Amino acid sequence: MFKPTAIALALGAALPLAAQAQSATDLQKQIEAMKAQIQALEAQVKQMQATQVPPEEFNRIKTKTEALEEQKEASGFGGLTITGFADVPYVYNQAQRQGSFVFLNNFSGLVLPDGAVAPDAPYTYFNSYLGIAGFSLLKEMEGGTQWKLTIAPQKSAASSYNWPSIVHEASVSVPLGDLQTRFIAGQIPDWSGYEYTFAYQQKLITHNLLFDFTVPSYYVGAGLDITRGDLDLKALVANINTNAYKANMTAPGFTFRGDYSINEFAGIGFAGQFGKAPLFIDPSSLQTLTAFEVDGYYTRGDLTLQGQVGAGSQNGAALNGGKASWWGASALAAYKFLPKLEGVVRADYLYNQRNGGGTLNIAALCANGEFYNDCFNGFGPGAQLVTNDEGLSFYAPIDPNKGTNRIALSLGMNYLYSQNVQFRFEYRYDYGNQPVFYVAPDGGYRKYNNVIAGSTVLSF
């Protein structure tokens, strides 16, 4: 702060300069310059004195601020972060002849081949985690311990196996000696692949084939999260896709995730699951699961590239009751043509023909005479129309032991309306190498389906 003594110091510094002047005229010029400097200093002193907070007022503000901080901590709001999200899509499914808004509904409402409506049909790619509204609470306590709760009614990660659970995640993270070594426990959503569950976390409205059908939904267990430089490793001993085993079930699985940042633009990750998990077609049956995937990303400027390859198997998960096995790949590219306008393309392939087809997340939804397939998602044996000796026509499997391999191609456009709101459009084409998509209400099966969707996505 400038004080009157500063003016005296300035005079002292200026007088020797005056003594060195060559003439009275030079001396007068230096005196005038010195006066101008003094006037400027005096103005600054007055300005600072005018804005200076009196000591008693400063102490009052300080006391009030400290009281507010103490009240915030005592009420539990200290270190608390609240985020929220909503996704309101409209989806038109050509094969189902179905077009509607999809919001806060569960995995139901499918028209079955016999004309009935499945009341509790499981996951489908044109419904899945679309149309969710929810919020997340993250509390960080002194010392670095974290608690997280994410609520997602109707379509939480656990809702397919633990209906009507609205809890998507409920986890704790406790530092062990330092913040880079943590004990983690609770209900944790699956961490495989490059896509996430909620709309605001990904580029397109629908998910890729690997996300939808080949990876678990969630885990309940305990483990470690270790970060060393650019490497982050997580591992759990956990129940896979179930919150608690029933009687005579004592075999938790093992799951892990690793992420390595190559540089500021690119990274690679991997994840796997080993052990026993409930069958999607019969949750009361635990069967051995083995799965592994590798994913990566590159983001620089307006360009985003993401990819994933994976493979796995589960005993008893095939549609003919045998061992299911699969492998597949997914790739996504996005480019911002304008700061707020982004184009997206994604291509998927899933090999799934062993033992009539089947994966970790595929069920026999459709009864076709004496055989079953998933005629909504396009998996299982293909159907053919045959006529018996009595002249009756019905659908029979082309080969009950050979499932359908799947392809999906999506084209999307995203418009960032504001920092918190985004409008999206997606056209998706799905194809199988056998006629397995059921066409309602005409009946019959074909090898392809078209889905068109638009969505409003909000997050804060």
Give the model confidence (pLDDT) of 381-440 as tens digits. 998 888 887 878 788 899 999 999 999 999 999 999 999 999 999 999 999 999 999 998
What is residue 72's predicted lDDT score, i.e. its pLDDT? 62
Which has the higher per-residue pLDDT, 158 or 3? 158
What is residue 283's predicted lDDT score, i.e. its pLDDT? 75
> DSSP label at 201?
G
- Whether 343 and 325 have beta carbons less than 8 Å apart is answered as no
251 pLDDT exceeds 80?
no
What is residue 448's predicted lDDT score, i.e. its pLDDT? 97
What is residue 50's predicted lDDT score, i.e. its pLDDT? 62
29 pLDDT exceeds 80?
no
What is residue 427's predicted lDDT score, i.e. its pLDDT? 98
Q: Phi and psi dihedrals of 16, rounded to 5?
A: -60, -30
For residue 17, what pLDDT band results from cuts at 50, 70 and 90? very low
What is residue 76's predicted lDDT score, i.e. its pLDDT? 66
Q: Can you spell out the DSSP letters for 91-125?
A: EEETTTTEEEE--S--S--EEPTTS-EETT----T
What is residue 221's predicted lDDT score, i.e. its pLDDT? 96
Two tokens, residue 172: 């704790």
What is residue 73's predicted lDDT score, i.e. its pLDDT? 66
Q: What is the mean pLDDT of the chain?
A: 86
Element (DSSP H or E) covering residue 25:
helix 24-51
- Whether 118 and 96 have beta carbons less than 8 Å apart is answered as no
Q: Topology of domain 87-459, per CATH?
A: Porin (2.40.160)
What residues does each domain of the chain span? Answer: 4-73, 87-459
- pLDDT, tens digit, 9 for 90 and up, residues 137-177: 999 998 899 999 999 998 898 887 777 789 999 999 999 98
20 pLDDT exceeds 80?
no
What is residue 112's predicted lDDT score, i.e. its pLDDT? 53
- pLDDT, tens digit, 9 for 90 and up, residues 336-372: 999 999 999 999 999 999 999 999 888 777 877 677 8
Per cent of the chain over pLDDT 90 is 59
What is residue 9's predicted lDDT score, i.e. its pLDDT? 41
Q: Phi and psi dihedrals of 46, rounded to 5?
A: -65, -40
Comparing 100-109, 216-225, 307-316, the range with the smallest average pLDDT is 100-109
Predicted TM-score of the model (pTM): 0.81
231 pLDDT exceeds 70?
yes
- Whether 410 and 206 have beta carbons less than 8 Å apart is answered as yes
Comparing 65-69, 235-239, 455-459, the range with the smallest average pLDDT is 65-69
Burial pattern 125-144, b for ≥16 Cβ within 10 A else e, equals bbbbbbbbbbebeebeeeee
